[in-house]
Amino acid sequence: MPTMGALHEGHLSLVTEAKKNSTVVAVSIFVNPTQFNDPEDLKKYPRTLEDDIKMLEKVMGADDFIFAPSVSEMYPEPDTRKFNFGTLENVMEGVHRPGHFNGVAQVVSILFEIIKPSVAFFGQKDFQQLAIIKELTKRLYPDIRIVSCPIVREHDGLAMSSRNRRLMPEHRKEAGIIFKTLNEASKNAVRSTLKELKDHVSSQIEKIPGFKIEYFEIVEEETLTPLVSLDDASAGKHYYGCIALFAGVVRLIDNMEFRLR
């Protein structure tokens, strides 16, 4: 179970799920510099290793282990590998965070080589990342099974994230609007146009002072192809509304399934 630390109940739910299916669970804690396209974001990312270990000790067994390497251990020399995930990386996060998914692929492949897991667990909050990792695994590690686990949310629906602790109190108080708005949009999808849904999401989020939408797209689950019209949705396929926004200076993402057929 790869993590960047600053753990919360969402991470612990992954460990709990892993323990149901595995004899030994490994959790990595490593803030990976190659997936940050903004040096300031890397600098400010929370690092709470001692607290993380205490949290994990509550759910991990005697045979389980934590792997918390240094940057020099993970990258004894620069990793110059380039991954090409095609359309999977050319939308949403890939547009706004160039190089991010190449860094994700670098660190996950290194972790897979070190740990050699039979199963790896990832949360669905990082929806596009999950699709990228599934593709990486299919290409290079076909014997590793990827398990996706549901988003764990706060009492007001805010998706649990390590970044939440950086929210200003006034922004945290209003952050439940993200889940509320996605939920409203998903319920209205069958009787609205895509433009109406996008306008609704933008107006609801941006009425909160300090909140600014970066993107909202409805994409097909496996290809991540954004819909141009809701009429283009195919029966039998699954679609997700994916959002990224700034609450003050903190960037948040979330997603929810939209039943269009």
- Extents of the domains making up the chain: 2-149, 162-258
Enzyme catalytic residues: 11
Q: What is the pLDDT of residues 112-128, one digit of tens each?
A: 999 999 999 999 999 99
Q: What is the pLDDT of residues 134-186, one digit of tens each?
A: 999 999 999 999 999 999 999 999 999 999 999 999 999 999 999 999 999 99
> What's the CATH number of domain 2-149, 3.40.50.300, 3.40.50.620, 3.40.50.150, 3.40.50.1970?
3.40.50.620
Which CATH number applies to 162-258?
Answer: 3.30.1300.10
Structural tokens at position 73? 């251990």
Q: What is the pLDDT of residues 44-80, one digit of tens each?
A: 999 999 999 999 999 999 999 999 999 999 999 999 9
Structural tokens at position 51? 């607290």
Domains 2-149 and 162-258 share a fold: no
Whole-number Å distance between alpha carbons of 27 and 59: 11
| Cβ–Cβ < 8 Å for 251, 245 | yes
| Cβ–Cβ < 8 Å for 158, 179 | yes
Structural tokens at position 185? 């949009």
Q: What is the pLDDT of residues 196-208, one digit of tens each?
A: 999 999 999 999 9
CA distances in angstroms from 26 to 56, 72, 109, 121, listed in the order given = 11, 20, 15, 10
Kind of pairing between the strands at 2-3 and 145-149: unpaired
